[in-house]
Amino acid sequence: MDYIHIGKIVATHGTNGEIVVQHALSKKVIFKDIEVIFIEEAKGVYIPYFIEKATAKNKDELFLMCEGVHSKESAHRFIKRNVWLRHEDFEKIADAASPIALIGYMVFNDAEPLAKVEEVIEQPHQVLLRILYQEKEVLVPLHEKTLNKIDRKKQEVHVSLPDGLLEIYLTA
């Protein structure tokens, strides 16, 4: 199954097991038509939790009540865990203009195709695209000096990377 990392659990809320999910969807979301989230219990191990209630807190966070989690203590164990959605559920709620919507896009360095975007990492001054290039993990920086264009129709990101950036990852 194809999963998309959307954020992480940052806190509990109240005493009834509600959790606070910090997400990268760049808009207020309520998870309408989304029945299940996946919480990463261990690296690559996604456990499904059915959503009982979802409420938008702001454009970066939402409150979630999950089936079987009804106390502050039971919710507390999820803090700092990553939250994932099925790809088809992600497509229902993702804002096309948000950086996370670039997941699955093909990255081109000048005219050379590199790889598809596996993850989007948002930082204060830039966005990093994690790709697998020649079986190595590479972080591609997106900012005004590297980004040439984003073609949403073709699902392509065109960049001009600094000389030697790819080689650093390939020789490491």
pLDDT for 143 equals 86
Each residue's pLDDT, cut to its tens digit, for the chain (172 residues) gives 588 888 899 999 999 999 999 988 777 787 888 899 999 988 888 999 999 999 988 888 999 999 999 999 999 999 999 999 988 888 788 766 678 888 889 999 998 999 999 888 887 778 899 999 999 999 999 888 899 999 888 999 999 999 999 999 988 6
One-letter-per-residue 3-state SS of 11-54: EEECCCCEEEEEECCCCCCCCCCCCEEEEEEECCEEEEEEEEEE
pLDDT for the residue numbered 90: 85
First to last CA, the chain: 30
**SS3 state at 76:** helix
Q: What is the pLDDT of residue 12?
A: 94
Could you tell me the pTM of the whole model?
0.68
Classify domain 100-171 by CATH number.
2.30.30.240
Torsion of CA 29, 32, 35, 41, to 10 degrees: 0
- Residue 138 is predicted with a pLDDT of 93
Q: Which fold has domain 3-94?
A: Elongation Factor Tu (Ef-tu); domain 3 (2.40.30)
**Domain residue limits, the chain:** 3-94, 100-171
